[in-house]
Structure 1
């Protein structure tokens, strides 16, 4: 009986936290000046019937909840309290969450393949999530994408005014209300054509360069924003 009440309490807490976050995100999103037209590129990438894995840095994911609404993506997260909150937020914005086992290295990626292969056109994943380190690309996701022919679509997010939570491992960025926010979608990457061979560039470096490029692209969509 105690375990049952604990599960009920956890579910209620998840729903409460998610509800508050969704309300904040909706109000906040309504104040932003958005440039999100490049998200249409994802539809073109899916047009040939290939699965698309949209990848972004963990510290940039928060604005994507409201800004990418309507894309009906499967969002990958971890089965934990925080992951369940993210999953509930996903549902309320029209995404389908998939909660992977907490032991990602042993069970997570095979579970990812089992749950989304053949059932989702668009999958969303933070490349360096859920616990970092910052911008450390998880090679397992890339290898599985290559083996199963999943196309990668790099996503970049930039804002004209923001708060950066430097105490967090992912240096999470929170665009301020009434700021300009841009979402960029880079050229698609077909890793099944780039599996490491002698003398070839490692997949991680290919993807890292693409992520650097799409982040620059997002900044360039914001006139007057200083470039790094």
Structure 2
């Protein structure tokens, strides 16, 4: 008789392995890292990153603060990811731009206000196109009265999964990893019409693409 194994049962081991992996990476932060301290004093923020850089950016964030609220898809894989993130200190909300998005955004806003957590948003996820920002982050930042903090990571030694849509980056243990934190971006207080959303999203996308050097 085949006994089914729930992949989420491996979350404790994955979280332990992640923490161990993070300890080996030599992060070199540049830019507006002081905003993380301002957040601890009550200034709302949303961290913006590319989907392919989830691992190195989350790893860097873990060395600074895990007092975050993170979006995770409602898929089976998302359940494993959510349990791992919760074990390293994150609060998670389930939803994406393709499923449960508005509900997740509103829940994240409540968590940000009630628990003083920064939100983490993969702005080209969950399915791309790669490095094309979507507008959910603008909606969340305006509703939460938050600034958007662009972050990029460039590990020197890495494995890049070129066949994945996001070119997922896995930093190798003991690598050097420059991290670039852009100046916090204020979001307009105008009504978020289609044109306004397109303008603000393009402004954030340009900042992300100019941040650091490939």
Within the alignment, does 1:41 sit opposite 2:38 as a pair?
A: no
TM-score where L is the length of structure 2: 0.80
**What is the aligned counterpart of 1:13 among 2, 7, 22?**
7
User: Contact 1:52–1:122 at 8 Å: present in 2 too?
Assistant: yes
Deviates more, 1:135-144 or 1:55-64: 135-144
Deviation at 1:115, TM superposition (A): 4.8
Within the alignment, does 1:207 sit opposite 2:180 as a pair?
A: no
Q: Give the match for residue 86 of structure 1.
A: 81
Deviation at 1:185, TM superposition (A): 1.3
In the superposition, relative to structure 1, how do residues 186 and 195 fare at CA in structure 2: closer, same or farther (>3 Å)?
Answer: farther
User: Contact 2:130–2:165 at 8 Å: present in 1 too?
Assistant: yes
TM-score where L is the length of structure 1: 0.76
In the superposition, relative to structure 1, how do residues 201 and 163 fare at CA in structure 2: closer, same or farther (>3 Å)?
Answer: same
Q: For 1:90 and 1:200, how far apart are their aligned partners in 2?
A: 30
Within the alignment, does 1:65 sit opposite 2:58 as a pair?
A: yes
Q: For 2:91 and 2:46, how far apart are their aligned partners in 1?
A: 14
In the superposition, relative to structure 1, how do residues 173 and 49 fare at CA in structure 2: closer, same or farther (>3 Å)?
Answer: same
Q: Give the match for residue 6 of structure 1.
A: none
Q: Give the match for residue 156 of structure 1.
A: 152
Deviation at 1:211, TM superposition (A): 0.7
Q: For 1:48 and 1:117, how far apart are their aligned partners in 2?
A: 13
3-state secondary structure, aligned to 1:125: strand
Q: Give the match for residue 75 of structure 1.
A: 70
- RMSD between superposed Cα atoms in Å: 3.1
Q: Give the match for residue 32 of structure 1.
A: 25
In the superposition, relative to structure 1, how do residues 105 and 96 fare at CA in structure 2: closer, same or farther (>3 Å)?
Answer: closer
User: Contact 2:55–2:170 at 8 Å: present in 1 too?
Assistant: yes
In the superposition, relative to structure 1, how do residues 115 and 196 fare at CA in structure 2: closer, same or farther (>3 Å)?
Answer: closer
Q: For 1:195 and 1:158, how far apart are their aligned partners in 2?
A: 36
Q: For 2:75 and 2:197, how far apart are their aligned partners in 1?
A: 38
Q: Give the match for residue 168 of structure 1.
A: 164
User: Contact 2:160–2:167 at 8 Å: present in 1 too?
Assistant: yes
User: Contact 1:153–1:187 at 8 Å: present in 2 too?
Assistant: yes
Gaps of 5+ in 1: 1-8, 220-227
Q: Map Cα deviations across residues 40-79 of structure 1 (whole Å, 9 max, x no partner).
A: 4232442663310011001001123332223411111122
Q: Map Cα deviations across residues 80-131 of structure 1 (whole Å, 9 max, x no partner).
A: 2221211111122222212237623564434444554444331111111222
Gaps of 5+ in 2: none
Deviation at 1:166, TM superposition (A): 0.9
Structure with the bigger RCO (C-alpha within 8 Å, sep 6+) is 2
